[in-house]
């Protein structure tokens, strides 16, 4: 596995080593020992999630408040997405900045998103199957959202806004400046 720091060094791209031949391929998708050695701290993933979405679906930007903040390890099994992590740690020098990475079933890249980040993705293929690990259980009463089109963040989704498909919750999410209890 190859670990690559992004412009926000706490967010990490992981490129697995692919072993392939005429029968197909094999790859390790997760190794706790290697990830923890790279990060310098332990991760205890406790829940796996999967979603299937069609082109134009935007899910996010979501996060959970303490004590249920989550680190995530995300990847796409089928299709492609633009995956985004936004730094919402108030004391961080990169507060309000974001990292965007194309994840696809073809490129096999994964993204590690630590606690203190809002996360979202936009499906750019006809359909995508998206899977991820989290290190804290989903707690709906602690879940919050930030608007996908917050001008202070300025995410370039590279996709026509009028073709995006969002839940009502994500359409009406507050802007980052609303300070939704960010104590991350």
Q: Which residues are catalytic?
A: 62, 132
Q: What is the DSSP letter of 151?
A: T
Residues 6+ apart with CB under 8 A from 100: 82, 83, 84, 155, 156
What tokens were used for 142?
A: 């602690």
Q: What is the DSSP letter of 176?
A: G
Q: What is the DSSP letter of 62?
A: E
Residues 6+ apart with CB under 8 A from 112: 11, 12, 13, 14, 35, 39, 71, 72, 73
| 171, containing H or E segment | helix 168-171
């Amino acid at each position: 596995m190859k670990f690559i720091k992004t412009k926000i060094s706490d967010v990490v791209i992981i490129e697995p080593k692919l072993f392939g031949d005429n029968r197909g391929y094999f790859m390790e998708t997760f190794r706790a020992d290697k990830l923890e050695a790279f990060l310098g701290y332990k991760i205890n993933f406790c829940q796996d999630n999967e979603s299937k979405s069609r082109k134009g679906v935007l899910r996010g930007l979501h996060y959970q408040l303490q004590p249920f903040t989550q680190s995530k390890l995300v990847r796409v099994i089928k299709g492609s997405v633009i995956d985004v992590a936004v730094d919402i740690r108030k004391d961080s020098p990169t507060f309000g900045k974001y990292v965007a990475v194309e994840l696809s079933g073809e490129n096999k890249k994964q993204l590690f998103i630590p606690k203190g980040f809002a996360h979202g993705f936009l499906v750019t293929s006809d359909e995508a199957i998206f899977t991820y690990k989290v290190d804290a259980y989903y707690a709906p009463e602690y879940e919050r959202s930030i608007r996908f089109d917050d001008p202070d963040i300025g995410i370039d989704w590279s996709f026509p806004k009028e073709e995006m498909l969002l839940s009502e919750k994500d359409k009406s999410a507050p802007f980052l400046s609303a300070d939704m209890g960010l104590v991350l």
